[in-house]
Amino acid sequence: MGAFLACDWGGTNLRAWVVGDAGEVLDRRDFPFGISRLRPGEAPERFDVDVRPALAAQDLPAILCGMVGSNLGWRAVPYLDCPVDLAALGHSLYRVRDGDAPVWIVPGLRGPGPTAAPDFMRGEETQIAGWLGTQTRRGRQALCLPGTHAKWVVLDDQSLTRVTTFMTGELYAVLSRHSVLRTEALVDDEAAFDAGLAAAGDGGGLAARLFSTRSRVVAAISPAPAESSASYLSGLLIGAEVAAAPALAGLDPDEPVVLLGDPGLCRWYARALSRTGRAFESFDGDQAVLAGLTTLYRAGPGRQA
């Protein structure tokens, strides 16, 4: 089917791969200009001026996923309504450029949320499609995709039926940079993280529990050094998410969870899940998104090549 360019273009960064005939990675580049860092209408220009030349991919067809398909990105690609058969998602790619080097964008998904408003995802559907391609087990499965906007989803065979978003990563960034809880420390203190998990309780009353990040330092409650506040705050926020998510996402009490994402971040979610006694498995999201882009391209425009 020939080589093609695959891109995961999110809010904070862009990852791009040149994929060969047999699915092998011929080249890879990471770029620091996520969609949230671009001015309106800038995405196509940066794609042509920076991305394609860096990978010598000016003449290759391309498939993109993530926030590039939002109203902040290249073009607002319509959402598909859940339930969505991920095995057939490649047939719904949205073509944003014609010619000898055409460009397609993977549509995002929309489903019922925990309130009257719907919930959404862009990019995670591609990760899940890639992960599904490596699995033999079918039936109902629950997944958690940690990130700036963590997603908890429910699958029925290959159909994604439900998505619930937790703004845990963004909330951490705002609180740690722009509030009385601000800290420049890294999240690497396991004891403080575990203390945050314990402080999260059942996930309720989060606004009240958050202030303990400050008060524990003032009161010198062990482990209290200000350098541990980042880990404590992270534990509190992730602990509250993991405590509240199963009910909001419609999970059964003993239902196992698949963690799909950055291994470093999944490590902390695994620690939180272990504390609750819920079974889980972890998978690398970077590998999954490339597998998903490859699968969707082959099922859609690549099949026509």
Condensed to tens digits (0 to 9), the pLDDT of residues 248-260 reads 999 999 999 999 9
Taking the C-alpha atoms of residue 258 and residue 260, their distance in angstroms, rounded to an integer, is 6
Strands (E), 113-222: 118-121, 140-145, 150-156, 159-166
Q: Phi and psi at residue 179, in whole multiples of 5°?
A: -135, 180
CA 120/CA 79 separation, integer angstroms: 8
Peptide bond into 223 cis (omega under 30): yes
According to the model, what pLDDT value does residue 222 have? Answer: 65
For tokens 């303990």, the residue is 212
- Where is average pLDDT lowest: 41-45, 63-67, 297-301? 297-301
d(Cα 123, Cα 67) in Å, to the nearest integer? 7
Tell me the per-residue pLDDT of 178-214, one tens digit each, with 9 for 90 and over. Answer: 999 999 888 999 999 999 999 999 999 999 999 999 9
pLDDT digits (tens, 9 = 90+) for 128-139: 999 999 998 889
Residue 304 reports pLDDT greater than 80: no
What are the tokens at 30? 């990471």
Predicted model pTM: 0.93
* The pLDDT of residue 55: 98
**Any bridge partners for residue 65, and if so which?**
8
The alpha carbon of residue 195 and the mean position of all alpha carbons in its chain are separated, in whole angstroms, by 26
What domains can you pick out in the chain, each with its CATH number?
A: 4-138+286-304 (3.30.420.300), 166-283 (3.30.420.310)
Is 232 buried (19+), middle (13-18) or exposed (0-12) by CB count in 10 A? Answer: buried
